[in-house]
Amino acid sequence: MNAARPWRGATTNDLAVDPELAAITLLDAALVITVEALLAFVPELDPQARTWSEAPPVVLAARQIVVHARQLRELIHDYRQHLDRLFAEAHDEIPF
């Protein structure tokens, strides 16, 4: 499992240009909290675990949530990078 990506909130300017970032920012924050809570509650989620074959179903389910939450956070990060690029390109075209 990858190290946690730092959480990045949306600024007022971000929300003025891309209002969907309000929901995406809330989702990202909820994912951070969910992963941290599961890692604290289910110590068996140790990334160094050798096998999952004997893990109880609750641990396997928690592991899937953590894996998918981290993947979704990566997608959110990619989306934000694409928006940042579009915003930068749009401002490069302003002839001042």
Q: What is the pLDDT of residues 50-81, one digit of tens each?
A: 666 778 888 889 999 999 999 999 999 999 89
> What is the share, in percent, of the chain residues with pLDDT greater than 70?
78
4 inside domain:
no
> What is the share, in percent, of the chain residues with pLDDT greater than 90?
35
Residue 47 belongs to domain spanning: 12-92
Specify the length of the chain in residues. 96
1 inside domain:
no
Q: In 10 A of CB 1, how many CB atoms? A: 13
86 inside domain:
yes
**How many domains does the structure of the chain reveal?**
1
pTM of this structure: 0.73
2 inside domain:
no
Predicted confidence (pLDDT) at residue 94 exceeds the cutoff of 90: no
5 inside domain:
no
CA 24 to chain centre: 9
Output the six-digit token pair for 34: 């969910």
